[in-house]
Amino acid sequence: MKLRFFCDLCGTEVPRNTIRCPACGRYFTAIQCPRCRFRGEEKDFAQGCPKCGYMKIPRTAVTDGKTKKARRRQQSGPSAPAAVYRLIGLILSLVLIALVVILFLR
């Protein structure tokens, strides 16, 4: 999920490294968590809010560079070789062609 930054005073969305709100002119001195109102520098929020965990990436989401989807795919067992899928596709295509020919020759 992409981090978004907003001005406390006027609520305008502002670019990440802006030091002053383009709409109201307020100077930014810290980043504030929208959930618990913890204030700190950007580096404090690198892994989400250090106080309440808002926007924290769970450790189970990425392990050893593999996403949950990749691990799930790996756990499901080996898939059939590509040749099997091509053969099934060919058979289904021939059945479809045969059905179309039968319908039009009636």
Question: What are the pLDDT digits (tens) for 46-93?
Answer: 788 888 888 777 665 545 555 555 555 555 555 678 888 899 999 999
CA distance 53 to 85: 45
What single DSSP character describes residue 22?
A: T
How sure is the predictor about 30, in pLDDT bands with cuts at 50, 70 and 90?
confident
Q: Is the pLDDT of residue 25 over 70?
A: yes
As given in the structure block, the two tokens for residue 57 are 């990436």
User: Could you give the C-alpha distances from 60 to 7, 56, 69, 71, 99, in angstroms and in order?
Assistant: 33, 12, 11, 11, 49
CA distance 38 to 42: 12
**Cβ-based neighbour number of residue 6 at 10 Å:** 13
What single DSSP character describes residue 19?
A: S
The pTM (predicted TM-score) of the whole model is 0.45
